[in-house]
Structure 1
Amino acid sequence: MSLTVESDASRVGALAVLATGSGVAVVLGAYAGLHEPAGRPLLTFGFSGMLQMKAWFTTAAAALLVVQLVTALWMWGRLPTSNPAPDWTAPLHRWSGASAFVLTLPPALHCLWALGFAADSPRVLLHSVVGCLFYGAYAAKMLGLRLRGLPGWAVPLLGGLVLTLLTLIWLTSALWFFSRSGLPLT
């Protein structure tokens, strides 16, 4: 009987994680699609324009993904080293993830408010869809970290999904911008 209870709890937890992530992604996509884009930035944080700010903030968040990946692999014993992860690895993982998430917020706000959900080109459509999916996956991962009884592979899978989606966001925005304009520092 305990196997059934654990299995039911695991299913309910997995469904809650999936529903939360899907709900966040759909709500963001619906808002971005229904909202009339303002076409102007709210804040540029000292950068010369909205695109420059978004590209550099997203690049900083993507750089923190490398820290996230290395610390996660180290904590899970997946690095080719016999040394266990030191005590500072878990806090570094948490803080680098939180910092990366915070860095994504100004660009996302500008995407939603100033530009809306766009489908002007395959790149822009992919960026719009992946942006919504990223926040859904992030919400699912954060919930998954707090739920007991999820399968052991769930949180690493969600973490990998968050990493993959933010990488796609970077590729369809910052890399695209830098490849067309060089590396403007402001």
Structure 2
Amino acid sequence: MLPDPFADPPAAPRASVVVPLLVGAAVAVALGVYGRTHTPTGIAVNVAGFSGPQTVKVWLGTGAAFFAVVQLLSALAMWGRLGRVPASWAGGAHRWSGRIAFLLAVPVAVHCLYALGFADHDLRTLAHSVFGCFFVGAFTTKMLALPRRGLAGWVLPVVGGVVFTVLMLVWLTSSVWYFTTFGFQR
């Protein structure tokens, strides 16, 4: 079992998370500015077998959300928070589910920013745009914080929790909205 993530950190550099936080914030703001100021192209990511680019985004986003849930469960198992569930599978599952979720989310994010831009047609699209930019910034923060030594034990669980939560908000304001509005299409 790994050490308690909420234990007091070593006296080592507590501020080492500041740089990843600042870079993540800069990425989120830069994506928002880019999405708002460039002219959307309307050019979309499309995959054979789907009725259109929107359904591709919806299903890729749903796949990313599914693997994010696997990330959450594997993280809980790694930290011994699932009771007597053996954690031997958790490290590999955590790494691979994260990689797959990222690979599924990238084409969706590229399409949203490049083809559609930062939208504010209504509250849902505004929230989706804000959450999407915040997700990429939070993900950047997590990836930059992972290799850092001397972080407080709570940092990675909190940053990972933020990444998970924001991805679920992105998914709720896109895929879930689509499924409840148009049904389960392919």
Partner of residue 20, structure 1: 23
SS at match of 2:146: helix
Partner of residue 164, structure 1: 165
Partner of residue 45, structure 1: 47
Partner of residue 145, structure 1: 146
Relative to the length of structure 1, the TM-score reads: 0.91
The residue type equivalent to 1:137 in the other structure is A
String of CA shifts for 1:56-90, please: whole Å, max 9, x gaps: 00000101112111100000000122x4411x320
Partner of residue 91, structure 1: 92
- Aligned match of 1:35 in 38, 41, 63? 38
**Range that drifts further, 142-151 or 127-136:** 142-151
Which portions of structure 1, spanning 4 or more consecutive aligned residues, are displaced by more than 6 angstroms? none
Relative to the length of structure 2, the TM-score reads: 0.91
Partner of residue 181, structure 2: 180
CA distance in 2, matches of 1:135, 1:22: 9
Unaligned ranges ≥5, structure 2: 1-9
SS at match of 1:146: coil
CA distance in 2, matches of 1:53, 1:6: 48
Tell me the C-alpha RMSD between the 2 structures: 1.3
Once the 2 structures are TM-superposed, how far is the Cα of residue 91 of structure 1 from its aligned partner? 1.2
Partner of residue 106, structure 2: 105
Instruction: Determine which structure has the larger helix proportion and give its number.
Output: 1
CA distance in 2, matches of 1:48, 1:84: 42
Partner of residue 14, structure 2: 10
String of CA shifts for 1:134-159, please: whole Å, max 9, x gaps: 01000101111111111110000010
